């Protein structure tokens, strides 16, 4: 950052009269002014993800006059994204997110450059992509990418402007600066598989990423301007349900595996194998952690052929109301104390939304001595896709 805030003024790009008019409300702020606006124009910011957090982040960074904005995303717009990913519209469903985002950003501000990376960020490409940017803003929604972004920021010495959201709660901070802690100072290792529900399983209030993404954009702008007190060494916690903000002090951990005095993370790795990826994303596996997997088509065939399974649904009651397969509902958290309700005379097939929670439930039942338990791979989502499209997807 030092090079950006202390560089000679003459090296900064000049603003056209159109740009001066556009940014006049910034130019009137002594903390921004002409030089600050030129710094914004010179800045190169990478948005990892163009989803819930990336949408407001990229929108406001574009409006503010960031000169070069990189966008990384491999996904296409899905109708279930539109409740929160406001850079995309109904007509964009099925389009690449980076194309949809680019169109909106250039419509807002044609005086900027968009660099698109239509790829899944990985250990193989992260450092190569990061090298052309000054600041990385993390808008990812999963642990593998979050650890990857953090480690790549530590290794390349770029600030990681972090945000995350879950249900009604959000977090923001700035990691991986020279003086401050990194994400691994806080959480040294990724959580074990299946422990953390994904956004798709856990749900999120659509407005929340707007709140957190805008805080991230604010911190990016402040870092570029070198103004104010950045969120370095502070974790801001937002509880939108009760509208409370809290702040935790964070310290650099000398034993941190990434930025500590004897780091063990000296190159990038991919974390899929460690993280909360539901077994649903491993199609075709016959056995996961000792639990037999049954596909939705196979399950349908066997049921049609007269096999009488006990279908156990381990989702939450509010999900059951959205769509169900006529299973017996016991939410995952209540399995242990309600096993007596299970019909042990029949083979049990466990299902949830996508196959992650039901895998956990099946493993728990095996430990409790149930021998004939199978996991419905892909859950009710796969059922809707492959067997009965009349079952709504959510
Ligand atoms: Zn660290």
Quick: pLDDT tens for 22-50. 999 999 999 999 999 999 999 999 999 99
DSSP classification of residue 20: H
Distance 267 CA to ligand 1 centre (A): 14
Dist. CA 116 → ligand 1 center (Å): 29
Neighbour count for residue 210 (Cβ, 10 Å): 22
Q: Which two tokens stand for residue 225?
A: 């301007």
- pLDDT tens, 127-142? 999 999 999 999 998 8
Distance CA 198, CA 216 (A): 21
In the block, residue with structure tokens 């090298």: 131
Mean pLDDT of all residues in 89-98: 98
Which has more pLDDT, 11 or 131? 131
The DSSP line for 163-227 is EEEEBTEEEEEEES-SSS--HHHHS-SPPPTTSS--HHHH-B-TTHHHHHHHHHHHHHHHHHHT-
Rounded CA separation 201/252 (Å): 32
| pLDDT tens digits, one per residue of 95-115 | 999 999 999 999 999 999 999
Question: pLDDT confidence of 280, banded at 50, 70, 90?
Answer: very low
Q: State the pTM of this model.
A: 0.80
Number of Cβ atoms within 10 Å of the Cβ of 379: 28
Lowest mean pLDDT among 87-91, 243-247, 332-336: 332-336
CA 235 / ligand 1 centre spacing (Å): 14
Least confident of 51-55, 247-251, 287-291: 287-291
Q: Which of 110-119, 269-278, 379-388 has the lowest mean pLDDT?
A: 269-278
Give residue 283's pLDDT band: very low, low, confident or very high (50, 70, 90): low
Residue 285 clears pLDDT 80, i.e. is over it: no
| Mean pLDDT along residues 356-372 | 92
* Residues with Cβ within 8 Å of residue 270, at least 6 apart in sequence: 122, 123, 144, 148
* 183 CA → ligand 1 middle, Å: 6
DSSP 271-298: -TTTS---GGGSTT-SEETTEEEE-HHH
CA of 226 to the centre of ligand 1 (A): 23
Give pLDDT, residue 185. 96
**Given this model, what pLDDT does residue 194 score?**
57
How much distance in Å is there from the Cα of 272 to the middle of ligand 1?
21
Q: Give dist(CA 369, CA 356) in Å, integer.
A: 21
What percentage of the chain reaches a pLDDT higher than 90? 84
Task: Give catalytic residues, as residue numbers.
Answer: 199, 352
Identify which has the larger pLDDT, 356 or 197.
Answer: 356
> What is the rounded average pLDDT of the residues 364-373?
92
pLDDT given for residue 199 in this prediction: 54
Q: How confident is the model at residue 373 (pLDDT cuts 50, 70, 90)?
A: very high
Torsion 197-198-200-203 (CA) sign: positive
Distance in Å, CA 2 to ligand 1 centroid? 20
Q: Give the pLDDT of residue 192.
A: 66
CA nearest neighbour of 231 among 177, 174, 184, 175: 174
What DSSP character marks residue 67? S
Tokens of 3: 């090079």
CB-CB neighbours of 335 under 10 Å: 21
Contact yes or no for 238/211 (Cβ under 8 A): yes
State the pLDDT at residue 276. 42
Residue 275: is its pLDDT beyond 50?
A: no
d(Cα 317, Cα 334) in Å, to the nearest integer?
A: 12
Question: Sign of the C-alpha dihedral, residues 360, 365, 368, 370?
Answer: negative
Beta-carbon contacts of 262 under 8 Å, excluding residues fewer than 6 positions away, are: 255
| 214 vs 203, residue with greater confidence | 214
Q: Lay out the sheet containing 348-351: strands in order across.
A: 287-288, 291-294, 373-376, 348-351, 310-313, 328-329
The confidence score (pLDDT) of residue 277 equals 46
């Amino acid at each position: 950052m030092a090079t950006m805030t202390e560089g000679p003024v003459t090296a900064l790009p000049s603003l056209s009269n159109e740009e001066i008019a556009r940014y006049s409300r910034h130019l009137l702020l002594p903390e921004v002014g002409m030089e600050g606006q030129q710094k914004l124009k010179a800045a190169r910011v990478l948005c990892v993800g163009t989803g819930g957090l990336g949408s407001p982040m990229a929108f406001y960074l574009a409006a503010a006059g960031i000169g070069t904005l990189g966008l990384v995303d491999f996904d296409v717009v899905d109708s279930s994204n539109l409740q929160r990913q406001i850079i995309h519209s109904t007509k964009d469903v099925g389009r690449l997110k980076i194309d949809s985002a680019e169109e909106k950003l250039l419509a807002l501000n044609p005086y900027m450059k968009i660099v698109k990376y239509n790829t899944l960020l990985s250990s193989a490409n992260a450092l190569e992509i990061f090298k052309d940017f000054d600041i990385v803003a993390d808008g990812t929604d999963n642990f593998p990418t979050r650890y990857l972004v953090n480690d790549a920021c530590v290794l390349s010495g770029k600030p990681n402007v972090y945000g995350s959201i879950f249900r009604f709660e959000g977090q923001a901070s700035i990691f991986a600066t020279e003086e401050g802690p990194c994400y691994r100072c806080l959480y040294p290792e990724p959580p074990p598989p299946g422990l953390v529900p994904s956004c798709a399983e856990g749900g999120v209030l659509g407005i929340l990423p707007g709140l957190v993404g805008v805080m991230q954009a604010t911190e990016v702008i402040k870092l570029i301007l070198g103004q104010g007190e950045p969120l370095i060494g502070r974790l801001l916690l937002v509880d939108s349900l009760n509208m409370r903000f809290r702040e935790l002090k964070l310290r650099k951990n000398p034993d941190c595996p990434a930025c500590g005095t004897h780091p063990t993370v000296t190159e990038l790795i991919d974390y899929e194998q460690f993280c909360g990826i539901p077994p649903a994303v491993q199609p075709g596996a016959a056995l996961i952690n000792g639990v037999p997997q049954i596909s939705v088509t196979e399950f349908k065939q066997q049921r049609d052929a007269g096999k009488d399974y006990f279908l156990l649904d381990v989702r939450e009651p509010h999900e059951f109301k959205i769509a169900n397969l006529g299973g017996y509902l016991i939410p995952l958290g209540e399995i242990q104390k309600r096993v007596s309700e299970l019909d042990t005379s029949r083979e049990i097939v466990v299902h949830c939304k996508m196959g992650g929670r039901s895998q956990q439930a099946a493993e728990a039942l095996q430990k409790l001595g149930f021998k004939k338990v199978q996991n419905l791979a892909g859950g009710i989502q796969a059922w809707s896709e492959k067997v009965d499209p009349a079952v709504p997807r959510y």
